[in-house]
Amino acid sequence: MMGIGVSLVIIAVGAILRFAVYQDSAAGFNIGTVGAILLIIGSIGLVISIALLLVHRRTDIYHHDDGPYVEPPPRGYYR
């Protein structure tokens, strides 16, 4: 699973390849298309990471019943 940091790095690399690198297809390999794919994958990973952070995890609370509470005798009380 990708974290928020990894998603942001993938988005940044995708944006650089998509908008800053000006190269036409080299042997059927289009860098702009690769950048767009990385932008999409990074965005999906970011949305999933944030959604998982916002989901409240279930916590189970166990109550152990040891019987009725008996008050201890006061200090200085001896039998």
Question: Domain range for residue 49?
Answer: 4-53
Beta carbons of 70 and 52 less than 8 angstroms apart: no
The residues, any chain, with a CB within 8 Å of residue 4's CB and separated by 6 or more, are 46, 49, 50, 53
Q: Is the pTM of this model over 0.85?
A: no
pLDDT in tens, the chain (79 residues): 568 999 999 999 999 999 988 776 667 778 888 999 999 999 999 999 998 888 866 666 666 667 777 777 777 766 6
Task: Please check whether residue 68 lies inside any domain of the structure.
Answer: no
Burial of 10 (0-12, 13-18, 19+ CB in 10 A): buried
Q: How many domains does the chain have?
A: 1
Task: Please check whether residue 27 lies inside any domain of the structure.
Answer: yes
Task: Please check whether residue 43 lies inside any domain of the structure.
Answer: yes
Write out the two tokens for 1.
Answer: 């699973």
